[in-house]
Amino acid sequence: MSLSIYQASVPVFTQTLTALSNILKKAAAYAEARKIDPSVFINARLAPDMHPLARQIQIMSDQAKGAAARLAGVDIPSFPDTETTFDELQARISKTLDFIKSIKPAQFEGAESRTVTLKIGGQDMNFPGATYLFHFTYPNFFFHATTAYDILRHNGLEIGKRDFIGPV
């Protein structure tokens, strides 16, 4: 049995984005129960030079929709980075999930060798599709997913590994 680029991307992004959506629901309930202004969590960061929670979620969204689109050869939807509430972050996750789920597995045929070009530091970087997914997108996507989880855990939200992994 071979594994397609579709199978290695869309379901993985879906699982992690869904898990983070569930964690954000817990965070919103936690803030409400403890009468904490939700913006405390939305703007929380692990270190002064790191992005806050909202930006971590935005980057996760960008990585998932960007990778799915590039690998399928379709246009990447543009979402403005304006989310400042849990509801707005949930809406962004929902839009991302709707988009990536709208792409058909057949659109990923040949994606493992399709050239993906990104502009990084003003330079064009070319990747074969498989290298782009496994060595560029995954590390970035999971870095920001983990950082979002860590920000909320650090701020007292009682979550664990099962929350991060989500339903399998």
pLDDT digits (tens, 9 = 90+) for 58-72: 999 999 999 999 999
Q: What is the pLDDT along the chain (168 residues), one digit of tens a residue?
A: 688 999 999 999 999 999 999 999 999 999 999 999 999 999 999 999 999 999 999 999 999 999 999 999 999 999 999 999 999 999 999 999 999 999 999 999 999 999 999 999 999 999 999 999 999 999 999 999 999 999 999 999 999 999 999 988
Nearest-angstrom CA–CA distance, 102 and 20: 20
3-state DSSP assignment of residue 79: coil
Strands (E), the chain: 115-120, 123-128
Length of the chain measured in residues: 168
Sequence spans of domains, the chain: 5-165
At 90-110, the pLDDT tens digits run 999 999 999 999 999 999 999
pLDDT of residue 2: 84
pTM of the model: 0.95
Q: What is the pLDDT of residue 1?
A: 60
Nearest CA to 57 out of 133, 167, 143, 118 is that of: 143
Q: What's the CA gap between 2 and 32, in Å, rounded?
A: 47
Q: Give the class (CATH, top level) of 5-165.
A: mainly alpha
| Structural tokens at position 166 | 């989500």
